[in-house]
Structure 1
Amino acid sequence: MKKPLAAMALLGALAGGPAWGQYIPDKPVEQIPDLTPADQLKNPTMALPDDPIEPYLLTKDNGPFMVMAKTFRGPESDRLALALAKELRSEYNLPAYVLRKKDWPGGSNIRGIPPQADPQVAQARIADPEKIRTYDEATVLVGDEKTQKGADALLHQVKKLSPKCLEHVSSMIPWRKGLSNAIRTTNPYAAAQNLYPSKTDRLVVEMNSGQGSIAECPGRFTIQVAEFSGRSTFNEKDPAFQGILNLRKSPLITAASDAEKMANVLRNDKDVAKLGQPIYVYHDRTSSRVYVGAFQDTNDPRIVATREGLLKLAMPLMDGKSRSKTLDTMIAPAAMLTDITGIKKTLQK
């Protein structure tokens, strides 16, 4: 037998159903206009610009917070976007740029998702055949705002604009006038960790407050030679990860001391000293890493010499016969440089 309250609720729902179904509004709801069929779209009724588009293309230096004003698709998307960008610059004095689909390096800049945009790439350069096979699409982005608040104010301004060039362009959605559907966005060439920097982790700052910390490195680039971290597995039932006793045997417990020990051995080794490069250590919550060298430019000729020298010393540094202090773990100089700009920012107090 149903409880009284449950029965009353059921009766109320049954009684209310027909009433909702019989509701008639005071005035008829305005119907949404039909889309313009694709075969009825007309060519632009204005002369499209033939200017070089390169000066208007979006780069990493623009933004990072912007407004996406309009997107064009089709064979003439580049020239249509260029026409709008030129008008926004000349008539409204707004910094407008063109982002072509074929130039987008691909990747996400959503918070929590690792960005795929290479921090070293200022502007994408896609060659054939990818450049030809990419879908024709061009977007006009507006603004060089440094904050989200500034982008919000710019958005209200852009949504009120009705550029003249759009009056000569046929659209599948004819009731959308001007730039009323503009939205706030970000420069896709800007990595998420730079757009939305995380708060300072006091524990990480404290762990890297000693001598030889990567925070003391005067250069922008360095070479990672080792990393000490915990264990990992794809098997959640792996017995090595079960129980407090196994957790206490995790190599992460000694990762910091292992990295410091390696760094001290490298600093005191006479052959490593001949390379003329400093040794640094960086600790975070999941690993500890050892770096060698401080370089400002990726074209620094000392980079190649340092990496080759470290590769030659990888085995000798573990040979106890020729050295008073040796390594327990072999160094492995990375093929790519590490840009420590972001790391330094996380260590600022």
Structure 2
Amino acid sequence: MKKTVAALALVAALAGGAARGQNIPEQTVEVIPDLTSPDQLKDPSGILPDDPIEPFLLTKQNGPFMVLAKTFRGPDSDRLALALVKELRQEHGLPAYILRTKDWPGRSNIRNIPPQADPQVARASVNVPEKYRTYDEAAVLVGDEKTQEAAVKLHHKVKKIKPKCLDEVSSIFPWREGLSKAIRTTNPYAASQDLYPHKVDRLVVEMNSGDGSIARCPGQYSLQVAEFTGRATFNEKDSAFQGHLALLKSPLRTAASDAEKMANVLRKDKDVAKLGQPIFVFHDRTSSKVYVGSFNAPDDPQAGALRDALLKLAVPLIDGKSRSKTVDTMIVPAGALTDLAPIKANFVK
């Protein structure tokens, strides 16, 4: 098998010898062989598995540090990937999974599919018309490693594997053997900010030290009803964003106090109090948010009832009739509960 051998070093040596007037001996430079012509590629000759692929699909719980072992394209990509996954599991004892483009089209704006969807949405399902707009591709990912160091060791191990199921699979790169081109990666369903260690922001901790902080919420989920933040624009020449005085007029300056004020009004409102749910606030460097309720499951039926009740109270809370205090900004209950785990991570050293 021929490969390029230290091409740059050889060119430099020849140039240096020629400059000194030395006789350069004849040397043979090996080159990479030609690619296999597409019309010479053959269909897989082995028997491919017909097992259901769903139990082998990658999920958000796998990983997060993994190794991308192989990618298959074409009409047989699913079954080729399944054959490799089964061999890696049975022959090598490695946790292997399949990620298909049709399940996770990260390069497209597909409805309800990560990463465009809410963080709570993580499923391998694409309906029409999207599934007809994605091509056949299936990647095999290996590993459930929790650290990068463990993923490095796994990477070295995977690169040495030469699966039997690949022996009868044609490739346009005839010099590539087994899984020698495997690379390290991460589970694409896992948010990058959750993968790597982070330092606690002391300012954020200090801003959320009050009794009504979301850090004190006993549940894992809560319902966001308002967010106070700064301005945004697509116009770089917008006068509202020019100069130091523009910063002094930014609504971000009063975001924290606005959120606290709304939370206090909600706590004292008799109709909100009847709902029996606590009120929380969360402040960071870019916004302040108001939450209502404490839940332990994202699909808690009580959360749906709470959202419906708050929707009915949105107008009365800002209208002022029969109320001693009203909110200055209308509450807008979110369509889904917020997972508080990433937020509470800000307070864990």
* CA distance 1:284–1:81, change in 2 (3 Å): same
Q: 1:82 matched to which residue of 2?
A: 82
Q: 2:335 matched to which residue of 1?
A: 335
Q: Which moved more, 1:157-166 or 1:297-306?
A: 297-306
Post-superposition shift, 1:324?
Answer: 2.2
Residue 237 in 1 paired to residue 250 in 2? no
Residue 42 in 1 paired to residue 46 in 2? no
Q: Which moved more, 1:76-85 or 1:319-328?
A: 319-328
TM-score of the two chains, using structure 2 as the length reference: 0.86
Q: 1:12 matched to which residue of 2?
A: none
CA distance in 2, matches of 1:125, 1:134: 12
Contact residue 259 and residue 289 of structure 2 kept, 8 A? yes
Post-superposition shift, 1:81?
Answer: 1.3
Q: 2:290 matched to which residue of 1?
A: 290
Structure 1 segment 1-349 matched on structure 2, within 5 A: 19=19, 27-106=27-106, 115-116=115-116, 118-196=118-196, 198-349=198-349
CA distance in 1, matches of 2:107, 2:338: 20
TM-score of the two chains, using structure 1 as the length reference: 0.86
Contact residue 223 and residue 334 of structure 1 kept, 8 A? yes
Q: 1:9 matched to which residue of 2?
A: none
* CA distance 1:171–1:201, change in 2 (3 Å): same
CA distance in 2, matches of 1:122, 1:150: 25
State the Cα deviation string for residues 203-247 of structure 1 (Å, max 9, x = none).
Answer: 001100111101111222222222222223333333333333332
Post-superposition shift, 1:177?
Answer: 0.8
Tell me, which stretches of 5 or more residues in structure 1 are unaligned?
1-14, 109-113
* CA distance 1:213–1:161, change in 2 (3 Å): same
SS in 2 for 1:226: strand
State the Cα deviation string for residues 117-170 of structure 1 (Å, max 9, x = none).
Answer: 643234311234433442111111111111111110001011111112211111
The amino acid of 2:292's aligned partner reads V
* CA distance 1:319–1:245, change in 2 (3 Å): same
CA distance in 1, matches of 2:182, 2:23: 36
CA distance in 1, matches of 2:273, 2:104: 44
Q: What do you get for the CA RMSD once the two structures are aligned? A: 2.5
SS in 1 for 2:102: helix
* CA distance 1:243–1:53, change in 2 (3 Å): closer
Post-superposition shift, 1:70?
Answer: 1.1
* CA distance 1:259–1:164, change in 2 (3 Å): same
Contact residue 105 and residue 117 of structure 1 kept, 8 A? no
CA distance in 2, matches of 1:54, 1:343: 32
CA distance in 1, matches of 2:185, 2:317: 51
The amino acid of 1:44's aligned partner reads P
The amino acid of 1:199's aligned partner reads K
Post-superposition shift, 1:315?
Answer: 2.6
Q: Which moved more, 1:184-193 or 1:314-323?
A: 314-323
SS in 2 for 1:314: helix
Aligned residues: 328
Post-superposition shift, 1:300?
Answer: 2.1
SS in 2 for 1:315: helix
CA distance in 2, matches of 1:154, 1:331: 49
CA distance in 2, matches of 1:129, 1:235: 35
The amino acid of 1:83's aligned partner reads A
CA distance in 2, matches of 1:46, 1:319: 72
Contact residue 221 and residue 298 of structure 1 kept, 8 A? yes
The amino acid of 1:325's aligned partner reads K
Post-superposition shift, 1:296?
Answer: 1.9
Tell me, which stretches of 5 or more residues in structure 2 are unaligned?
1-14, 109-113
CA distance in 2, matches of 1:208, 1:139: 43
* CA distance 1:51–1:331, change in 2 (3 Å): closer
Q: Which moved more, 1:50-59 or 1:68-77?
A: 50-59
Post-superposition shift, 1:321?
Answer: 5.0
SS in 2 for 1:168: coil
Aligned-pair identity (%): 73
Contact residue 107 and residue 116 of structure 1 kept, 8 A? no
